[in-house]
Amino acid sequence: MNSQFTLLVRIVLGTVLIVFGSNSFLHFIPLPTPTGAAADFIKLLSATKYIFPVVGILEVFIGIMLLLKKGVPFFILVLAPISINILLFYLLLDFPGVSAALIIALLNAILIYKYWKRYSPLFL
């Protein structure tokens, strides 16, 4: 769990989460406008006025916790449904952006694998 590789994955994932989570409410990185079904889906979620800020705040908080190495096994599990939803959105609705989603899901999966021994009590 404390290998250099795990440290690198944790730092990269934490940094990505902080940057893109912050971008969801500060809008400092211009993102391409989705089209078709992806645009309709984003429009509906945006109409709620809460989902993107909440997910952004969660991403920033999880990213900070990963960088500080606080509660990593817990927070990577909290991140799992978020990263799965990001991946499914790009796989099913906006395929050109799938590479970044794959990277996030892969980094999250690697950390879950590295901390798998911590989850064994959940399956007893």
Measured distance CA(46)–CA(43) in Å, rounded: 5
49 pLDDT more than 90:
yes
- 97 lies in which domain range? 4-28+49-119
78 is a domain residue: yes
pLDDT value, residue 122? 87
As for how many domains the chain has, the answer is 1
**List of residues 6+ apart from 63 with CB closer than 8 A:** 13, 14, 15, 16, 17, 18, 21
- Report if residue 42 sits inside a domain: no
Give the pLDDT band (50/70/90) at residue 124.
Answer: confident
Model confidence at 1, pLDDT cuts 50, 70, 90, reads low
Burial zone of 91 (CB within 10 Å; 0-12 exposed, 13-18 middle, 19+ buried):
middle
What is the pTM assigned to this prediction? 0.93
- For residue 122, what are the CA distances in angstroms to 17, 24, 119? 26, 33, 6
Domain assignment present for 104: yes
- The answer to whether residue 94 is domain-embedded is yes
Q: Are 54 and 86 in contact (CB under 8 A)?
A: no
